[in-house]
Amino acid sequence: MITVVGSLNMDLVVQTERIPRVGETVLGGEFNQIEGGKGGNQAVAAARLGGDVKMIGAVGQDDMGRQLLASLEKDEIDISRIKLSSEPSGMAMILVDAAGNNSITVVSGANFDINVDDIRQDEDLFARSSVVLAQLECPLDVVAEALSLAKEHDCLTVLNPAPAQALPAELLADVDILTPNETELELLSGMGTSSMEECTAAGEKLMASGVKSLIVTLGSRGCLYMEGDVAEHYPSYLVKMTDSTAAGDCFNGALVAALDNGSSIHDAIHFAMKASAISVTRAGAQPSLPTQEEMADFAAWYEERRLDKS
């Protein structure tokens, strides 16, 4: 069983030719309101790929909150531990340019109304879980308590350190697998990440500080896995990108679904790379996340869409 501790946001998505510079106004195109939030996205990704998923988080008692909960239920995610807050539901304002790149501003709302006591009340959920997945769109002390409880109950813990922020050593000590992207790796390590060599050096610094396992997602450059003396690069499946909004969330959800299903870390990474390749070819956060059926036909799907196809 997988427990996801994290955020639930309504994504307000605007398609635009390019993301404006500071002080500039540009005309947008299509607008969509789509269920999202890093926690919600990762929970949905894991559930669609075969995971038995329970969600801990908070939404407002408003139309957006009701829509967010209904969406999770459609993917058979247990929402019984999601708090109904007096704060408004979280929102994310997302600009997506013609190349599929994005710029995101998050308004936390109810996501910051969850507290340590709420987490402790759900200890039975951690006791029944095999994997706990968290991000950083909820209060840091809530994330720390969740990871601590998870380790008390011998769960595998995965932390996606996004949005990027400095993390205390005692929190990192409770993380089995840390999954930053290159920007987050740069902040956590204080080192550059513009090349694979720099990413490896930055990863080595984090490993020396006590991080057990590290998976750095690098977009079109694939990902870097580090554990002990191992540093292994996994190339990406190159496809034409439509929208990268939930690619990292898809990777994390797929990773824990595979691990919970008994896959090795190497097989789980390959599985997550395939899932995220599908996600970037589709618009939106949760609408882009693939199903088990789609993953079963990945080889044929990729053969039709690979960028290096002659």
Which residues, 6 or more positions from 306, have their beta carbon under 8 angstroms from its beta carbon?
237, 238, 239
Residue 267 annotated to the active site: no
Which pair of tokens denotes residue 100? Answer: 């599929």
| 142, 116 contact by CB (below 8 A) | yes
DSSP-assigned letters across all residues of 168-200? -HHHHTT-SEE--BHHHHHHHHTS--SSHHHHH
Are 206 and 223 a contacting pair, CB within 8 Å?
no
Phi, psi of 33 (to 5 degrees): -110, 115
Main-chain phi, psi angles of 55, to 5 degrees: -120, 130
Catalytic annotation, pick one of 11, 113, 249, 260 = 249
Sequence-separated (6 or more) residues with CB below 8 Å from residue 106: 7, 9, 90, 91, 92, 93, 137, 163
Strand extents, DSSP E, 73-130: 82-85, 90-96, 102-107
The secondary structure of 94-106 as a DSSP string is EEE-TTS-EEEEE
Active site residues: 249
